[in-house]
Amino acid sequence: MSREEEGAFDRRGAVLWLLSATLVVSVAGLIYELIAATVSAYLLGDTIRQFSFVIGIFLASMGVGAWASRFVVDPVAGFVRAQVGLGVIGGVAALATFFAYATVGAVALPLYGALVAVGLLSGMEIPLLARVLKEIGAARFRFENVLSVDYLGALVASLSFPVLIVPNLSLISAGLAFGLLNLAVAGGTLWLFRDRLGWADRGAWGGAFALVAGLLAFAVPLGAAIDARLYEDEIVYSDRSAHQQVTVTRHRGRTRLYLDGAVQFDTADEARYHEFLVHPAMSVAPRRARVLILGGGDGMAVREVLRWDPEEVVLVDLDPAVVALFRDRDDLSALNGDALRDGRLRIVHADAFTWIREGEDAFDVAILDLPDPRNLSLSRLYSVEFYRLLRRRLSAQGVVVTQAGSPMFASDAFWMVARTMETEWDVTAYANYVPSFGLWGFALGVPPGLRSDLRDLPEGLDVLTPEAFAAAQVFDAQIGPRDGPVNRLSDHALPRAYEAGWSEWFE
C-alpha cells in the first residue's frame, strides 16, 4: 500500500471514529440532562417546573459553550479535554448532588452548577468536531451531516432513558456509566491523534478514567451509604422502579414506606390515615359489593376494604414494583394482612385517568388513595373532568372518597379539592391528625339526598368511631371552609395552590 493510500485509509478511519464519537457524546449529553431533571424532580418536587428549568439552563449553557468554542486554538485537544471534563463532571453529578443533599441539605448549587458545566462542555463538542473533520480533510464534509448524527443520538438517549436505563440502573450508576463513555471517546481520540497530544492530556485522562471507574465499581455501596444518611432508620429495601424511588425502612418494630423520599406510611400511625380514608365511604354506601381503589399499592386500603366482605375489589396502581413488594415479601405483606394475595382482589397496573376514561365496569364505592397534586400529571386526578368520568363509573348510589392533603399546610388546595368534587357529588370534608403527616384531610362524595353519617362499622378498628368522624368535620376559623375556583384541566389551579401552601410553611 502506498503512502498516499495509507493516508486515505487513516483519514477514513478518523472520519468514521469522529462521526461515531458524535453519536456517543450526543447520547451521553442528553442522558446527563435527563438525569439532572429526574434528580431535581426527586429532591425538589414539582416535576414540570424542574424539567423546564433543567432543559432551559442546559440549552442556554450549550449555546454559550458553542460560542466559546471559537476561542479554542487546537480543536483536537479541546475536544479531548471537553470529554474528560464531561466524563468527570457529568458522571459524578448525580452522586455529588445526592451526597450534598444527604449531608448538608443542599441541592440547587451542586445540581445546577454541574448542569451548567456539562452544558458548556457539551455545546463545544459539535463545533470542535466539525473543525477537526475539516482539518483532516474529510471528503465531502458537510456540517449538517454532523448535526444529523447528533440529533440521532438525542433520539437514542430519549428512548433508552425511560425504557432501559431507569429500570436497570440507579441514577448514580447511570451517570457514572455514561461518564465512562465520554472518557472512552476521549481515550480513543487520544490514541488516534497521539502525535498531537502530550503526556499531560494522557495523564489527566488516565486519572479521570480511574476515578470514574472506581466510583462506578462502588456505586451500590455508595448509594446505600447516602441512603443511610437520608433515612434515620435501617433500610430494608431500596430500589428505583420505572416510576419512582422505593425505600422501606424499619426501626424498633416500626416500618415506613418512602416514595421519592416522601413518607407514605408509618406503621405506628397508618391506621389513623387508612381508617379515616376507607371506612366512612364504606359505611355510608348503600351497596359495597364492588369497590374500586385508585393508588394504594401498599395494600393498606385494600386491607380495610376487605373488612366489609365485598364481592370484588379492583386496585389500580401505576407502579407494579410497589404492589409486588407488598404482595410477595412475607414481612411486608403481613403489614396489610396479606390483602394483596386475596382472591377477591383484581390488580391493574395503568394510569388511573386513562383507565377510568376507557373502562366500562361500574362500582359501588371508589376510594382514591392518590399522591398529592403537586404537579400537572397528578392534578388531573383531582380535576372536574376526572370526577365527571369517575361519576360515570359509579352505580346510581355510588360513593367516592379521596385523600385531599392537609387543611393546615395547604388550606386553599384542600378546599379546592372539596369544591371540585362538589361539581358531581354532595361533599363532606373532614380531617384527622396523623403524626407522620400532620393534620390530614379527606373529601367524601355521595349522591344528592344520601346521608353521610356513619352507621355500622367493622369491629376491631383502632381509631375511627362515629363520634370521631363527627368531630373530624369541625374546622377552626383559620383553616375552615374557603371559597375559590375549582380545578380544571384547562387551568390546573390546584398545583399552584398546593405549592403555595407548603412553601409558606416550609420554605
What residues are paired with 428 via a beta bridge? Answer: 444
7: part of which helix (H) or strand (E)?
Answer: helix 3-44
Planar angle of CA 178, 80, 168, nearest 5 degrees: 5
Q: Show the 3-state SS of 352-402.
A: HHHHHHHCCCCEEEEEEECCCCCCHHHHHHHCHHHHHHHHHCEEEEEEEEE
Distances (CA, A) of 307 to 275, 279, 285, 288, 294: 11, 9, 14, 11, 18
Strands lying side by side in the sheet with 426-434 = 345-348, 312-316, 290-295, 363-369, 394-405, 438-446, 426-434
Three-state secondary structure call for residue 323:
helix
369 catalytically annotated: yes
Which of 150, 260, 369, 372 is flagged as catalytic?
Answer: 369
Residues comprising the chain, all counted: 507
Torsion of CA 225, 230, 235, 238, to 10 degrees: -80
Q: Which runs of consecutive H residues, i.e. helices, occur in 69-142?
A: 75-104, 108-135
- DSSP calls for 228-276: HHH-SSEEEEEEE-SS-EEEEEEETTEEEEEETTEEEEETTTHHHHHHH
- What distance in Å separates the CA atoms of residue 480 and residue 271, rounded to the nearest whole number? 25
- Picking from 50, 89, 113, 496, the residue whose alpha carbon sits closest to that of residue 260 is 50
- What distance in Å separates the CA atoms of residue 262 and residue 242, rounded to the nearest whole number? 17
Active site residues: 369
